[in-house]
């Protein structure tokens, strides 16, 4: 599922779109829904574990220019050891959520609500990381315990979860909620560290105790789309259209995208919102045809994208490029769209699942996911929840005996170019700035294949608004 996945242009999920248009949930993967999995979990290393001779550091790991090659250094079959030694455990004091034996963390995700299981993949990924950590590591003699909360696809549910978490856990980790503005003020007021997958609302992004492994700023737009279009479809750069779902934050997102893309040299000749209750896309496709549009950018859920692609096919219109975000990188998209979605190009900020064999961290996530929920598919949201869990562990381990909520928040505010051992493109965690690195896949014969190489294109950002 994705109601405006952030990957494309620093945008944010739109709660109105989530609540009204997504008829079912989908998880990212290959067209067939099958991914390489390891029968044995990789022997990864973590701070504090007997297999890991070193502790965590806050900062980047992996090559900013690499898009999934797994070229980080290390030994063994799993991901490389994190840099730096675990901090000294001298003076470690228990506090909220911390006992002599455990550090209790929490995860809030939209599990129930209008779309059952909406962000369950985030909770599954966090469970997978906790299982992996406890099997291999510890922080100053303490294992992790995970409390899970259902934010119910509801601002009130998110607030209730964080109200409880303030007293029950040391930190929240890997959370993902469409209406996450609900608990933003609560987390900040009680000083609760919230190391989440991403912020779906500006209120959450503004929360001083909240940090995301997928960082973004709605007023800072990645230059990746214009760079990609000018590099591969230069003759069509002056014939671009942007269609988006006309609800909530999507309007601001689209306006910012048009302003930024225009500054970057694209000519947006058709810019149009579509009501979320609109089921007839024919008038919009007719406009694409009449105006001679050759590149179509579309912001919306994968279900809506299928409808748009099918309408274009039915009306005999085929753009030279149909460019989408990570929301379409799903098994249901290819299965339901069939021939109509062939040629769809998507932008990704993480290593594709098909390349797990060359990326130890991705392989680790996918393997442990199968241990906590056999048959589960990896997802965009799962990737960033796993990344958030590793970010928490590495940062906490480095602090050692100095670990408190306050010191954790201070350390997180200084993290930059975070990649979770090469799993994702570099993310500006501390500054909460939009990252400007993407790579691309194109759907061919029902399979996602690299387009334009396997390296991330890091083309910077443009500030608007």
Tens of pLDDT, residue by residue over 145-180, are 999 999 999 999 999 999 999 999 999 999 999 899
| pLDDT tens, residue by residue, 212-252 | 999 999 889 999 999 999 999 999 999 999 999 987 667 88
At 411, the pLDDT band (50, 70, 90 cuts) reads very high
| pLDDT tens, residue by residue, 274-294 | 998 899 999 999 999 999 999
At 201, the pLDDT band (50, 70, 90 cuts) reads confident
Q: Which residues, at least 6 apart from 200, have a Cβ–Cβ distance to it below 8 Å?
A: 12, 13, 15, 176, 177, 178, 179, 180
At 208, the pLDDT band (50, 70, 90 cuts) reads very high
Nearest Cα residue to 289 out of 267, 318, 324:
318
| pLDDT tens, residue by residue, 365-393 | 999 999 999 999 898 999 999 999 999 99
Nearest Cα residue to 236 out of 284, 292, 287:
292
pTM of the complete model = 0.83
5 contacts 27 by C-beta, under 8 angstroms: no
pLDDT at position 147 is 99
At 90, the pLDDT band (50, 70, 90 cuts) reads very high
Mean per-residue pLDDT, 335-344? 97
pLDDT at position 82 is 38
| pLDDT tens, residue by residue, 102-151 | 999 999 999 998 878 889 999 999 999 999 999 999 999 999 999 999 99
Higher pLDDT, 271 or 60: 271
pLDDT at position 301 is 83
The phi and psi torsions of 105 (rounded to 5 degrees) equal -115, 165
Write out the residue limits of the CATH 3.40.50.2300 domain(s) in the chain. 35-214+352-434, 220-348+438-463
> What is d(CA 274, CA 444) in angstroms, rounded to the nearest whole number?
28
Whether the predicted pLDDT of 314 surpasses 90: yes
At 395, the pLDDT band (50, 70, 90 cuts) reads very high
pLDDT at position 248 is 65
Partner residues linked to 424 by β-bridges: 350
> What is d(CA 459, CA 95) in angstroms, rounded to the nearest whole number?
43
Whether the predicted pLDDT of 56 surpasses 70: no
Cβ-in-10-Å burial (0-12, 13-18, 19+) of 43 comes to middle
Mean per-residue pLDDT, 342-370? 97
pLDDT at position 47 is 61
Query: Fold for domain 220-348+438-463?
Result: Rossmann fold (3.40.50)
Could you tell me which CATH number the domain at 35-214+352-434 has?
A: 3.40.50.2300
Rg (CA), the chain: 21
């Amino acid at each position: 599922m994705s109601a405006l996945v952030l990957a494309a242009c620093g945008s944010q999920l739109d709660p109105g779109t989530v609540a009204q248009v997504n008829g079912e949930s989908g998880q990212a993967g290959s067209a067939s829904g099958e991914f390489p999995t390891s029968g044995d979990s990789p022997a990864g290393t973590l701070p504090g574990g007997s297999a890991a001779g070193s502790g965590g550091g806050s900062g980047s790991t992996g090559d900013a220019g690499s898009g999934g090659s797994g070229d980080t250094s290390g030994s063994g079959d799993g991901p490389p050891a994190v840099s730096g030694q675990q901090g000294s455990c001298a003076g470690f004091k228990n506090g909220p959520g911390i006992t002599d034996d455990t550090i209790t963390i929490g995860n809030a995700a939209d599990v129930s609500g209008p779309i059952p299981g909406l962000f369950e993949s985030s909770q599954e990924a966090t469970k997978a990381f906790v299982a992996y950590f406890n099997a291999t590591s510890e922080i100053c003699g303490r294992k992790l315990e995970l409390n899970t909360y259902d934010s119910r696809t509801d601002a009130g549910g998110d607030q209730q979860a964080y109200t409880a978490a303030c007293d029950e856990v040391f930190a929240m980790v890997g959370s993902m909620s469409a209406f996450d503005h609900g608990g933003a003020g609560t987390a900040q007021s009680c000083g609760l560290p919230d190391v989440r997958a991403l912020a779906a609302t500006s209120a959450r992004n503004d929360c001083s105790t909240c940090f995301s492994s997928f960082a973004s700023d709605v007023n800072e737009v990645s230059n990746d789309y214009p760079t990609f279009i000018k590099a591969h479809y230069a003759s069509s750069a002056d014939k671009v259209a942007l269609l988006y779902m006309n609800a909530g934050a999507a309007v601001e997102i689209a306006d910012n995208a048009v302003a930024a893309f225009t500054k970057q040299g694209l000519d947006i000749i058709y810019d149009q919102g579509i009501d979320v209750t609109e089921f007839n896309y024919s008038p919009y496709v007719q406009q694409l045809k009449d105006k001679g549009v050759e590149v179509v950018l579309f912001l919306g859920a994968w279900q809506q994208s299928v409808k748009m692609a099918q309408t274009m096919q039915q009306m005999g219109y085929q753009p030279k490029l149909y460019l989408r975000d990570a929301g379409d990188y799903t098994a249901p998209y290819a299965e339901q769209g069939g021939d109509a979605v062939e040629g769809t190009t998507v932008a990704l900020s993480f290593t594709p699942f098909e390349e797990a064999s060359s990326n130890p961290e991705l392989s680790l996530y996918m393997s442990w996911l199968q241990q906590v929920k056999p048959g589960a598919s990896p997802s965009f949201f799962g990737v960033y929840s796993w990344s958030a869990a590793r970010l928490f562990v590495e940062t906490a381990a480095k602090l050692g005996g100095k670990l408190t909520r306050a010191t954790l928040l201070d350390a997180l505010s200084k993290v930059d170019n975070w990649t979770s051992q090469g799993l994702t493109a570099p993310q500006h965690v501390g500054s909460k700035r939009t990252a400007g690195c993407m790579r691309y896949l194109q759907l061919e014969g029902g399979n996602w294949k690299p387009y334009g190489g396997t390296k991330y294109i890091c083309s910077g950002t443009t500030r608007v608004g």
